Structure 1
Amino acid sequence: MLADCAVGAYRNVKIGYALRESMHMLIRHATMEDLDAIEAVEAACFPPAEAASNESLTARVAAYPDHFWLLVNTDDDDTPFPSRVEDGTLVGFVDGMATNEPNLADAMYDDADMHDEHGDWQMIFGVDVAPVYQHRGCASYLLRQVILDTAQAGRKGLVLTCKERLVDFYARLGFVDEGLSESTHGNVVWHQMRLALTHAVGTGNPTANGSAKTAERTNDADTTAMSGVDHDTETLEFPQVEPTA
């Protein structure tokens, strides 16, 4: 269900092309203290029938906080959207569980217990960007980090559902349209899209012996999946996302 981080540490970035010169951003994972801001952005991005409830978002953050990627504007003088977090304003976020199930099912949205930290597939439940920040490359930038982190975790790839008008957008990031999804979430017709990481072998965090394979997976994800983003004028001047060491 999609609208139009560094592991274990903040990533400081500076975005000057599409937003405003000197605006500072960071990507981080979620905490329970972020819930009000997350809910505010979710409500602004989706109609009530499609938006995740407070109960659902609370359960997700409690069960898999490291599977939320938050883009935060740390500029205290620039707060155009009322989604404050401790370190600034929440610009947007990506979230979703990991699972061995290859297809995204409606039950996953509200049942956080279905999360499997060692799952083969990273599901994407939402790509939310506050309206005032939309169409400025923020979603692409966030997804780039999610893709790289998923590759480093050794997963097979990522799965999302989206409306037909967004199929081309996600195709530019390497996702392949698999046709209509079985999901009827919000009584809407969804397309299921998948980004397969071709070098993903095994699950869970890579071992020292797998460092070469980890680098290969990461480079493959960065080169293949993100080539469209690198040549998009919306993200042309965004800083390079670096894989986690």
Structure 2
Amino acid sequence: MRFDLASLSDLDEIMTIEKQGFNSAEAGSVEGYRERIQKLNKTFLVAKDDSNKVIGFICGPAVSTRFVKDEMYDKTPDNMAIGGHQLIFTIAISPNFRGQGIGSRLLNEFEKIAKRDKRESIALTCLKDRIPFYEKNGFKNMGQADSNHGNEIWFNMEKII
């Protein structure tokens, strides 16, 4: 397995994984992911298997805001060059590759980029059942998020780096 920055040629495989991991109210659109690949060109990673197939991805903007806001899903913010906070919009793994540590490895690779670019923290929102996974990866539950994305209850998770 290897990690690469996402490119538009990865879009179809990214969308397949997105639709397998999120319901229709939560999942991002093709247009939204095209914008993310273009705008988050330094903070959109894909994990690829030996046949160069995308098996997972992680993406999000580096911004001055500490936590993800719902409006960021509608219009992807530009990345700050240095500093700020690294947010994670999405981390998703192909169902055939779940449970193999790929999500943790993607988080680790993402943290390397955040440290290189002198971010203060990494933060994301997640559903309650995903909290233990993020805690295992060094994130702290900061409480219920001010979000109604997909009409779900979300929790802010943060890791100071």
CA distance, structure 2, for counterparts of residue 146 and residue 154 of structure 1: 12
What pairs with 1:21-32 in structure 2 (closer than 5 Å)?
25-32=1-8
Name the structure 2 match of 1:67: 43
CA distance, structure 2, for counterparts of residue 64 and residue 196 of structure 1: 21
Name the structure 2 match of 1:107: 71
Larger-gyration structure (1/2): 1
Change (3 A) 1:142 1:167: same
Name the structure 2 match of 1:134: 98
TM-score by length of 1: 0.63
Count of aligned residue pairs for this structure pair: 161
Structure 2 residues not aligned, in runs of 5+: none
Amino acid at match of 1:125: F
- The answer to whether the 8 Å contact 1:41/1:128 transfers is yes
| Partner-residue secondary structure (3-state), 2:48 | strand
Name the structure 1 match of 2:14: 38
Q: Cα distance, 1:154 vs. partner?
A: 0.6
Name the structure 1 match of 2:86: 122
Name the structure 2 match of 1:222: none
CA RMSD of superposed structures (Å): 1.2
TM-score by length of 2: 0.95
CA distance, structure 2, for counterparts of residue 107 and residue 119 of structure 1: 21
Q: Cα distance, 1:116 vs. partner?
A: 2.9
Q: Residues 140-166 of structure 1: CA distance to partner in whole angstroms, max 9, x if unpaired?
A: 111111112211211101000111111
Name the structure 2 match of 1:153: 117
Amino acid at match of 2:23: P
Q: Cα distance, 1:173 vs. partner?
A: 1.0
- The answer to whether the 8 Å contact 2:58/2:91 transfers is yes
Greater strand content: 2
Q: Cα distance, 1:110 vs. partner?
A: 2.1
- The answer to whether the 8 Å contact 2:40/2:78 transfers is no
CA distance, structure 2, for counterparts of residue 186 and residue 132 of structure 1: 25
Runs of 4+ in 1 over 3 A off after TM superposition: none
Q: Cα distance, 1:92 vs. partner?
A: 0.3
| Partner-residue secondary structure (3-state), 2:80 | coil
What pairs with 1:91-106 in structure 2 (closer than 5 Å)?
91-106=55-70
